[in-house]
Amino acid sequence: MDRLTLREVGLRDGLQLVKQWPNTSAKKNWLALEHVAGVRHFEVGSFLPTARFPQFADIEVLVDTLSKLDGAHSAALSLNERGVADALKTSVDEIVCVISATEEHSRANTCRSRAEAINLIKDASIERSRLAPEKIITVGIAMAFGCTISGEVVPREVLCLAEQAYSAGADIVGLADTIGYAGPSQVADLCRGMTRLNPGNPLLIHLHDTRGLGIANAASAIDNGANIIDASLGGLGGCPFAPGATGNVVFEDIVFLCERMGFPTGIDIDLLTKARRFAETSMPDELFYGNLSRAGVPKNITWAA
């Protein structure tokens, strides 16, 4: 793994709530264009009932598409036992499960306690060992910095959950600022706690730019040990709990951040902007955010080597 891995989550988080989405051919083109630009890690959907989530019905096709792109790595969400079982049958590289930082959110969102959610991770790990030991299991802790139901979250509880997730068999644990509560100080504290908990293990950060601090939080995460950063082209991925709020941190701007911080991304901004333009035309009703794509890379700048 490079010092920093950027994960494109637009085709998962970005499509979670939209009424209109690209068809399979457009999704494949989107992936191909970002791959040509240098992006290698993609979360491409959720293993969910296709009747309720038709936007993810083509997940197996996308996973197969990625398996044929040089160096590409595929991830997909599995929110329950059925999702895990379905994922294990495919060629997906990484299965992402989600647990909530607070008991209140866990029950409201999934009708499970946090302990039950940890049990799901345990079961998933056992099945993974049995059926597809090469697959990675990642656990994202939603609302890790603040919760729509219970407000501020105690960092110690998040670290305790992370420890349980590792014990249950998770390879990677991620911190998600699902609705934009965090500032750089909170991100720094929790990232440092996570690196103390499991030194040397990859640390994933999933940030939303709900209140404008997304990129500042990413900078803080990078400074404090995070090395897998989720982002989406144009910041796709609004949250139902914060109407009008932007979604994930903007992939293009994160690339510029990383390069300015001295971390080579291997990504060509012009080709990435081309991918963004394609994504925009494939989802004409969605607002695409981000500044770099408008202003372009500044003149005579030293890109990280």
Binding site for a second copy (CB under 8 A): 146, 148, 150-152, 179-186, 209-213, 215-216, 218-220, 223, 242-246, 250, 252-253, 256-257, 259-262, 290-292, 294-302
Least CB distance to a second copy at residue 207 (A): 11
Q: How far apart are CA 282 and CA 290, in angstroms?
A: 17
Q: Tokens in use for 56?
A: 């993810």
Give the max Cα distance, the chain. 54
Selection from 148, 175, 150, 146 nearest residue 161 by Cα: 175
Smaller CB separation from a second copy, 74 or 217: 217
Whether 105 and 142 have beta carbons less than 8 Å apart is answered as yes
Nearer CB in complex with a second copy: 159/213 = 213
CB 275 within 8 A of CB 33: yes
Q: C-alpha dihedral over 264, 268, 270, 271, to 10 degrees?
A: -150
Positions marked catalytic: 239
Smallest separation (angstroms) from a second copy to the CB of 31 = 23
Could you give the CA distance from residue 226 to residue 222 in angstroms, rounded to a whole number?
5
Smallest distance, a second copy to C-beta of residue 235, A:
10
Least distance to a second copy, CB of residue 155, Å: 13
Q: Which two tokens stand for residue 76?
A: 């997909």
Q: How far apart are CB 178 and a second copy at their closest, in Å?
A: 11
SS3 (DSSP) at 177 = strand
Least spacing, CB of residue 65 vs a second copy, in Å: 29
Closest to a second copy by CB, 32 vs 216, is: 216
Task: Pick the closer one to a second copy by CB: 270 or 300.
Answer: 300
Nearer to a second copy, 138 or 227 (CB): 227
Buried b (16+ CB within 10 A) or exposed e, 62-91: bbebbeebeebbbbbbbbbeebbebbbebe
Measured distance CA(280)–CA(70) in Å, rounded: 25
DSSP state for residue 291 in the 8-state scheme: S
130 and 85 Cβ atoms separated by less than 8 Å: no
